[in-house]
Chain A
């Protein structure tokens, strides 16, 4: 029997207070009337209104969403392919280098990745803009996607795929109608991970963006360097809200799909 002691309860209380209080303070002060961020002067939503009128932030938000969408989609395709190769292709020439290149970006400091990509884009004469950020984000996000998908592929019963091949499927058909539906939850969570990584990224985007393609984190960073402002509080609250809703929805969906899978399994066992 595991005993839950007072010590455990205190550790959890303080731990979660430490994790959540700063964000809760930030959220509550985004509804502050006063421009002085540390003095409470009554409830107001006026900073949200001002935020929606700030053209620069809206433009940056649009660029960020575009970049996040394209890079996470590309990263999901490439990362799933990479995971499939790592699990299924067996031995091939250059496999060691390939797995090294997949794991290295996960631990590489962002300043190095950003610097090297920028120098590369300049060397090949590619103008910095939305395209270069998409390329940069795809490169590091595909590695995260491939890690997520690999863990699912490893636990997957290979005989299902072989059965499809025996029954006359082409390898591509077998992948589409057997493998893909089974690994789909991992592919979707890989996409979500890639999307949030891209939304979050400041360092790599700063190196690879051009003057016309400022993303939201770059905008926030340059505003924040001058100090705390109520508009940024409002913007942060919006972003925290969107992510929270997204994560809770994703976990509900995945819980529903596991319950359904378990029910299907039971039905299959009964018949």
Chain B
């Protein structure tokens, strides 16, 4: 490769190293530092000399935010996955809700899996505290706020991904069924909201959902309710906001997989005696699975770290990890703890991101 080629590579490469990788290293370092009343508000810094700086680092912030519990749960799930792959292929098969197995088998398998998961988490926690005595304080959770924030972020992300799928699938299906000359227009109508400001779309719901908002006015006028509903500043508003803003991310991949589907397959199924509904379940649904999976990941991954929606539509009891990080940084000015929260959030996200990449890779290979 000549020098020009090298230069071409060097420029974007250096840029990404400098503004992506190095900053992340700094977050990692600060997450191991202590908070201080100085500028910058953490200690030790490079000024103290490299060795003093390195020896001054500790895991205190991680213990504080209950990272040990997250870590233990994580290893537990990993062990569980391994167990399923290697030891229990039968259980795995029963879990797949195959028609050949009864409902009883599936429920039994799910219960076994749950028990195994619990035992796993407990075992990993115990092993960790025996192997590393320093970590034993790490397992119990000094401040429940952070652990609750991880759990509630996960809960909100899972529920809203499911709701988005429920609403997005019929839209994508309808689009794929529409006449061919209508499809580009419909596609643009789905993409257009994606280009308009995220903040404005979330804001639009504030006027609708508030106590004297348009929705309550409408319902009061029709006479469905006699007292205005409190929706804004609750988790329901957060779900609505997430479904609304992330709907295009769900519709587009599902539409893409439905659109290229061969219609004669459905016709063949119906000729062979399927009803329209069973043809859908046996033919269309499995064929759109890659799109569904991609869409779910595209909604789930960004939702987990969401900040704008919970802070505008959610109330004080809506805790999500992105919001906690923001408040820790801007309101409490505790940079080391904010950095530790960021590292843990990233750790939690690695699993869905890797799964998503594998799904995309497999899809590309199928498409050839």
- When distances are taken between beta carbons in the complex, the residues of chain A under 8 Å from B186 are 12
**Do A15 and B195 touch (CB < 8 A)?**
no
Does A65 make an interface contact (CB < 8 A)? no
Does A131 make an interface contact (CB < 8 A)? no
**Do A101 and B17 touch (CB < 8 A)?**
yes
Q: What per-residue 1/0 map shows which CB atoms of A189-219 lie under 8 Å from chain B?
A: 0000000100110110011000000000100
**Do A115 and B325 touch (CB < 8 A)?**
yes
Binds B, one of A53-61, A80-88, A178-186, A263-271: A80-88
Q: How far apart sit A253 and B200, CA to CA, in the bound complex (Å)?
A: 27
Not counting A22-B244, A232-B203, a sample of 12 additional A-B residue pairs whose C-beta atoms are within 8 angstroms of each other reads A7-B170, A16-B171, A23-B204, A38-B210, A81-B12, A107-B349, A112-B345, A115-B27, A117-B19, A123-B26, A221-B312, A239-B197
For B196, give its contact among A89, A243, A251 (CB under 8 Å). Answer: A243
Max chain B C-beta neighbours (<10 A), residue from A102, A119, A217, A239:
A119
**Do A78 and B339 touch (CB < 8 A)?**
no
**Do B201 and A22 touch (CB < 8 A)?**
yes
For A170, give the chain B residue with the smallest CB separation. Answer: B4
- Assuming the contacts A4-B179, A228-B207, asked whether A19 and B189 have C-beta atoms less than 8 A apart, the reply is yes
**Do B307 and A112 touch (CB < 8 A)?**
no
Does B199 make an interface contact (CB < 8 A)? yes
Max chain A C-beta neighbours (<10 A), residue from B203, B213, B357:
B203
- When distances are taken between beta carbons in the complex, the residues of chain B under 8 Å from A122 are 40
For B207, give its contact among A20, A26, A85, A139 (CB under 8 Å). Answer: A26
For B322, give its contact among A1, A109, A116, A200 (CB under 8 Å). Answer: A109
**Do A136 and B19 touch (CB < 8 A)?**
yes
- When distances are taken between beta carbons in the complex, the residues of chain A under 8 Å from B305 are 109-112
- When distances are taken between beta carbons in the complex, the residues of chain A under 8 Å from B20 are 101, 104-105, 139
- When distances are taken between beta carbons in the complex, the residues of chain B under 8 Å from A5 are 177
- Assuming the contacts A78-B15, A228-B206, asked whether A115 and B329 have C-beta atoms less than 8 A apart, the reply is yes
Q: B10 to nearest A CB, angstroms? A: 10
Q: B103 to nearest A CB, angstroms? A: 28
Q: What per-residue 1/0 map shows which CB atoms of B188-232 lie under 8 Å from chain A?
A: 111111011111110111111010111001000000000000000
Q: How far apart sit A34 and B179, CA to CA, in the bound complex (Å)?
A: 44
- When distances are taken between beta carbons in the complex, the residues of chain B under 8 Å from A102 are 16
Using a CB-CB cutoff of 8 Å, which residues 1-31 of chain B contact chain A?
Answer: 1, 4-5, 8-9, 11-13, 15-17, 19-24, 26-27, 30
Using a CB-CB cutoff of 8 Å, which residues 324-338 of chain B contact chain A?
Answer: 325-326, 329-330, 335, 338
- When distances are taken between beta carbons in the complex, the residues of chain B under 8 Å from A49 are none
- When distances are taken between beta carbons in the complex, the residues of chain A under 8 Å from B63 are none
Q: How far apart sit A271 and B33, CA to CA, in the bound complex (Å)?
A: 72
Q: How far apart sit A247 and B197, CA to CA, in the bound complex (Å)?
A: 13
Q: How far apart sit A213 and B175, CA to CA, in the bound complex (Å)?
A: 43
**Do B195 and A38 touch (CB < 8 A)?**
no
**Do A115 and B338 touch (CB < 8 A)?**
yes
Contacts between the two chains (Cβ within 8 Å), count: 227
For A175, give the chain B residue with the smallest CB separation. Answer: B8
Q: What per-residue 1/0 map shows which CB atoms of A1-23 lie under 8 Å from chain B?
A: 11111011101100110111011
**Do A12 and B175 touch (CB < 8 A)?**
yes
Q: What per-residue 1/0 map shows which CB atoms of A55-72 lie under 8 Å from chain B?
A: 000000000000000000
Does A37 make an interface contact (CB < 8 A)? yes
Does A163 make an interface contact (CB < 8 A)? no
**Do B19 and A26 touch (CB < 8 A)?**
no
Max chain A C-beta neighbours (<10 A), residue from B16, B27, B171, B178:
B16
**Do A247 and B195 touch (CB < 8 A)?**
yes
- When distances are taken between beta carbons in the complex, the residues of chain B under 8 Å from A200 are 197-199
Q: A259 to nearest B CB, angstroms? A: 13
Does A240 make an interface contact (CB < 8 A)? yes
Q: How far apart sit A22 and B214, CA to CA, in the bound complex (Å)?
A: 10
Does B135 make an interface contact (CB < 8 A)? no
- Assuming the contacts A101-B21, A111-B342, asked whether A217 and B197 have C-beta atoms less than 8 A apart, the reply is yes
Does A167 make an interface contact (CB < 8 A)? no
For B198, give the chain A residue with the smallest CB separation. Answer: A200
